[in-house]
Amino acid sequence: MLKGRPGAYDAPSIHTDEVETLPGGATLLALNRSTVVEAAEIRHDGGTFWGVQYHPEIGLDEVTGALRRQADDLIESGLARNRREVEEQADLVEALHREPGRRDLAWRLGLDDQVADEGNRQVEIANFIEALSIPVRNARR
C-alpha cells in the first residue's frame, strides 16, 4: 500500500474518530504522534484489507473546508488560538491548492511534496488500483 512513499511523510489527517487497537493478523503501517493507527494492513481468511485514517483522497481545497468547519475544535485542542489564526491557515492551504508548485507556501505550511503534489498525495489509491486482481477469461480461438 505504501510503495513509493518515503519512510516518513505528510498526509492530510482530519479526523476525530480513530482506531486504537488493531485486530489479530494486522500490521501497523503508519502512525503519528497524535494517532496510534494511521494505516494498517489486515490479513484474514486469504484476503488482504488496507486501511488508512488519513485522507489521500481529498484535495487541499477540501482540507481548507475542513479547517474552517472544525475551527472550534482546533482552538479547543490548542492548535490555534482563535478563529483568525484558523482562517489564516486555511487561506494558505487554499492558496497552495490553487498553485501547488509554490514552494514558499508549502514551506510556510510545513508541507512537502507528499501533500502538495496530488500524485504523491494519492499514492495509496494508485497502489490499491494496481493491486486489484481482476479475473481474465482464458479465451481460445
Exposed/middle/buried for residue 134 (C-beta within 10 Å: 0-12, 13-18, 19+)? exposed
Q: Enumerate the β-bridge partners of residue 40.
A: 28, 51
Residue type, 93: V
Q: In 6-140, where does DSSP find H-type helix? A: 60-69, 71-76, 83-98, 103-109, 113-116, 118-121, 123-131
Q: What is the pLDDT at residue 137? A: 64
Residue 72 grid cell: 472550534
- DSSP letters along 93-107, please? HHHHHH-TT-HHHHH
How far apart, in whole angstroms, are the C-alpha atoms of residue 34 and residue 73?
Answer: 15
**What pLDDT score does 65 carry?**
96
Confidence (pLDDT) at 44: 87
**CA–CA distances in Å: residue 34 to residues 38, 41, 65, 100:** 10, 20, 21, 26
Grid cell, residue 31, equals 502512525
Q: Where are the domains of the chain?
A: 60-118
Q: What is the pLDDT of residue 25?
A: 85
Residue count of the chain, please give it: 141
Question: Over its length of 141 residues, how does the chain's per-residue pLDDT go in tens digits?
Answer: 999 999 999 888 876 678 888 998 899 999 988 788 999 999 988 888 999 999 999 999 999 999 999 999 999 989 999 999 999 999 999 999 999 999 999 999 999 999 999 999 999 999 999 888 666 666 565
Residue 5, pLDDT score: 95
Burial readout 65-92 (b: 16 or more C-beta within 10 A, e: otherwise): bbbbebbeebeeeeebeeeeebeebbeb
| The pLDDT value given to residue 58 | 92
Measured distance CA(75)–CA(113) in Å, rounded: 27
